[in-house]
Amino acid sequence: MAKSARWDAVPRQDGRRFVVTGASSGLGLETARVLARQGAEVVLAVRDPRKGEAAARGMTGKVEVQRLDVADLTSVREFAAQVGPVDVLVNNAGVLAVPYALTADGFETHLATNHLGHFALANLMLPTISDRVVVISSRAAHSGVIDLDDLDWQRRDYQPFAAYAASKLAGMLFLAELQRRLTAAGSTLRATGAHPGSTATAITGATGSRWKTWVGHWGHRLTGMSVAQGALTSLYAATMDVPGNTFIGPDGLGEMRGWPTAVGRSPAALDPAAARALWDRSEDLTGVRFPL
Q: Which helix (H) or strand (E) holds 176?
A: helix 160-184
Which pLDDT score is estimated for 221? 54
Of 3-12, 46-55, 59-68, 192-201, give the lowest mean pLDDT range. Answer: 3-12
Q: Which of 100, 158, 164, 236 is catalytic?
A: 164
Pick from 249, 234, 265, 248: which is nearest to 198 by CA? 249
CB neighbours (10 Å) of residue 62? 12
Domains and CATH numbers, the chain: 17-284 (3.40.50.720)
pTM summary value: 0.91
Q: Where are the alpha helices (DSSP H) in 7-116?
A: 26-37, 49-57, 73-82, 109-110
Banded model confidence at residue 203, pLDDT cuts 50, 70, 90: very low
Give percent above pLDDT 70 in the chain: 90
Contacts of 273 (CB under 8 A, 6+ apart): none
Please compute the mean of the pLDDT values over residues 246-250 and round it to a whole number: 97
Q: Which helix (H) or strand (E) holds 284?
A: helix 272-286
Of 61-65, 195-199, 258-262, give the lowest mean pLDDT range. Answer: 195-199
Which pLDDT score is estimated for 5? 73
Active site residue 164: yes
Residue 220 has pLDDT above 50, yes or no: no
Please compute the mean of the pLDDT values over residues 114-143 and round it to a whole number: 97
Residue 100 has pLDDT above 60, yes or no: yes
